[in-house]
Structure 1
């Protein structure tokens, strides 16, 4: 029987703060469960250590993929190249790189349990929880297929901007991934805008995805990361968990059973100041 479930925001390769936070939570891998809201790697110094630890937890860890995790897989697939701010070389050089890639490819993009749903970035207001699960599964099938490299080579881009149930092929899969792994803001006409990254109060011409009117996903409490400018924030049924560990902020854990918050200061600050 599970004692506690802890959900943690973007680790981004900060292995030491992760272990310090788990010690602060008194996390017990026998009795407790650990949920990770994506961006497990990149920008921090301990990517391989983070993945090895989470993989070692087996069914006691539930992780969803974030945009940085997808980026690493795309690097492996030859779809993109590392930039100056990326810190993925320890993974690419790791003797167990192939095994870690395979483990990442088999992670979900969306997790639902009881009245909670966990996603890295966000959801579109048109999507119910059940539809979001189904759409995430479409991407998971492609990512776990024998042709996963080709899928990733056709994934990159920011279009289409509007969801339609009639979308097919790469456009359909791309907007699903962009929503679940990159979304922050919607324009006032409901279209997706992936460029703004600041706080909502600094972007009055846009609507945070979680404030969209008549959203069909409001049957559940949504747990997400990705938006470090928000910091830890509880907004009604939405819990934002990216408190900017890799930017010199903190790594945050939220306990599902009682809402208790745990935070660990981080020293592995990324120096460029370029958040994504």
Structure 2
């Protein structure tokens, strides 16, 4: 019985298949954790979703910003873009089933036995595990309801006053903040306020911005945090116990798998045609 964690797949179905074959993944015995951004940019998002859904309870998923964007396209909030390579998925005969399955997936996974926490972008340093779980369940409840387009429509608003955390936050403001933390966050100000603009490498980020994972955390030290989202850092420069697994497969990089039991990494290079 093994626990495998894989970074952002982004529609790279062939690489996903290759890495699962390399570790002889057994859906009856093993557990697979996926850091989100299952779809978009890579060539075979439809096949990725079909495979992951078929694997059933052996998979633990979190939603990423590209997964939410796909749901927003499906809901008619934003237009489909050719660069996302999701047209075949949206036009598939099982598209409705796949989209309804996708929006019922969590934005946070916590394993108290293995002391693991996983979110696509990370956990704001202002939250402990209990607060993170509460905020996640609030977002997930809306995504699973008929009101999910309202949440998806607001996640594109980036006014600075949307980036402050307070226990008194409520309604759409609270949901928007939580969604930004779980799916889009990279940098914070020293007080924990989110910055939703900077995408530079950490050594080029303007003062006083800091990568979220370099600020003091309220997550217990015996828990590890697993995230994806930030392909440009290639999993580097994170403190001990924090694992960034997005290594930019769809951009011509690699798909990364971490075996939790022995902390060994396996990487499969992107084999497709590079369009970007």
TM-score range, shorter chain: over 0.9
2:168 matched residue in structure 1: 166
The CA deviation string for residues 61-120 of structure 1, in whole angstroms up to 9 with x for no partner, is 111000000000011111111234221101111100000001101100000012000110
Alignment of 1:1-276 (within 5 A): 3-113=1-111, 114=113, 115-159=115-159, 160-205=162-207, 206-213=209-216, 215-219=217-221, 220-233=223-236, 235-268=239-272, 271-272=275-276
The CA deviation string for residues 229-259 of structure 1, in whole angstroms up to 9 with x for no partner, is 1113352120000000001000000111111
* Alpha-carbon contact 2:158-2:196 (below 8 Å) kept: yes
1:30 is paired with a residue whose SS is: coil
Q: What is the rounded CA distance, in whole Å, between the counterparts of 2:249 and 2:239 in structure 1?
A: 20
* Alpha-carbon contact 2:214-2:239 (below 8 Å) kept: no
Give the C-alpha shift of residue 271 in structure 1.
2.7
TM, length-normalised to structure 2:
0.93
Q: Which moved more, 1:160-169 or 1:78-87?
A: 78-87
Q: What is the rounded CA distance, in whole Å, between the counterparts of 2:158 and 2:103 in structure 1?
A: 22
2:131 is paired with a residue whose SS is: helix
* Structure 1 segments unaligned to the other structure (5+ residues): none
Q: Which moved more, 1:112-121 or 1:23-32?
A: 23-32
* Structure 2 segments unaligned to the other structure (5+ residues): none
Q: What is the rounded CA distance, in whole Å, between the counterparts of 1:218 and 1:83 in structure 2?
A: 41
Change in 2 beyond 3 A, CA 1:239/1:112: same
* Alpha-carbon contact 2:188-2:194 (below 8 Å) kept: yes
Aligned length: 269
2:255 is paired with a residue whose SS is: strand
TM, length-normalised to structure 1:
0.93
Give the C-alpha shift of residue 189 in structure 1.
4.3
Change in 2 beyond 3 A, CA 1:27/1:207: same
Give the C-alpha shift of residue 198 in structure 1.
2.8
* Alpha-carbon contact 1:77-1:153 (below 8 Å) kept: no
1:85 is paired with a residue whose SS is: helix
